[in-house]
Amino acid sequence: MLSRAVVAATSVVSVSAGNPKFWGLKKLSSCSLCSSSSWNLLCNRSWNTNKCRRMANYTTRALAQPLTDADQLIYSVETFIFDCDGVIWKGDKLIDGVSETLDMLRSKGKRLVFVTNNSTKSRKQYGKKFETLGLNVCEEEIFASSFAAAAYLKSIDFPKDKKVYVVGEDGILQELELAGFQYLGGPEDGGKKIELKPGFLMEHDKDVGAVVVGFDRYLNYYKIQYGTLCIRENPGCLFIATNRDAVTHLTDAQEWAGGGSMVGALCGSTQREPLVVGKPSTFMMDYLANKFGIMKSEICMVGDRLDTDILFGQNGGCKTLLVLSGVTSLSMLQSPNNTIQPDFYTNMISDFLLPKVATV
């Protein structure tokens, strides 16, 4: 059992860049316009009575407690938002007890929503994956970061005569098409090569008004250079990332380099930071709350990552539950270096089936 010591655990996402009308940031209550041209995770500040040099955005948060009374948590919220990788499945393998847990929550009248930072699939494609795994989940309950990228562009009235260059996979292309946006890039550019000859100049489409970067198993130098040229040379071109996850679960055998590695390549070449539409940005949380008419205080975010899932819930003002079935271990949670503390933690979501859960 962890003690009730108090630690600092706050992280605030802010954004600015370019013309605020073009960005449409006034529509996003979770964002604030700053003079910097990047998204920043503001550092946690510690109190020092005599030597306090800089104090800002300081919030105290109690250490996470083991989930010992699942019924109480279930009763206290209306909606559960679940991450997918590491919570519902690992790779293509369903985690034990998930189906029974979801059925139980539905029987109690709870709304279930599934939010994933994985942009390789569209909502429709994820619906088929849920079906393949034997889970009854409708498309309207699924929100992938591929969808978030298209939804964000719609929210800012991205010009329909502008194009989107995609460093990513088919999921992003499908969502952009459904939203009515012109796009290029994606898997089609995965086989393209650049022949570097003396005096060679690579051309790019001057009508590209946004570059969207997501997880891309076919990333190559052509895509990096094309995206770089659009961002650096096209006036007002947006740099959007679906997520910055360091690792992902492509299989249940090990962790694999995540979308953050692809985003990092463009950050390095453009010297710009992206606008992130996936977790922990609250764009999707605001979108869900507005779509379903949910009070954020009546939501519980359930995930396996501290810096995305749990921070996503905390930034949105929700209750948070960390499951240890994915990326985060108990030792990582309890590390003195960890400043992100969920409200509760437990082994896996099937612990919801037990009225009194054994201490982890």
Average pLDDT taken over every residue of the chain: 85
Question: Mind listing the pLDDT tens digit for each residue in 324-344?
Answer: 999 899 999 999 999 999 999
- Look at domain 147-276 and name its CATH class: alpha beta
Q: Among candidates 297, 301, 326, 171, which has minimal Cα distance to 243?
A: 171
**Angle, helix 221-233 to helix 259-270, in steps of 10 degrees:** 50
78 is a catalytic site residue? yes
Confidence class of residue 360 from pLDDT cuts 50, 70 and 90?
low
Partner residues linked to 247 by β-bridges: 257
Instruction: Provide the whole-model pTM.
Output: 0.79
What ranges do the domains of the chain cover? 147-276
User: Choosing from 78, 139, 255, 298, which is the catalytic residue?
Assistant: 78
Average pLDDT over residues 203-229: 97
Q: Which helix (H) or strand (E) element contains residue 213? A: strand 208-213
Question: Mind listing the pLDDT tens digit for each residue in 127-152?
Answer: 999 999 999 999 999 999 999 999 99
Do the bridges between strand 208-213 and strand 275-276 make them parallel or antiparallel, or are there none, so unpaired?
unpaired
- Cis peptide, bond prior to residue 280, ω within 30 of zero: yes
Position 47 pLDDT exceeds 80: no
**Angle, helix 145-155 to helix 283-292, in steps of 10 degrees:** 80
Q: Which helix (H) or strand (E) element contains residue 132? A: helix 123-132
Position 112 pLDDT exceeds 50: yes
- Whether the CB-CB separation of 262 and 223 falls below 8 Å is answered with no
What percent of the chain shows pLDDT beyond 70?
A: 81
Confidence class of residue 253 from pLDDT cuts 50, 70 and 90?
confident
pLDDT at 321: 98
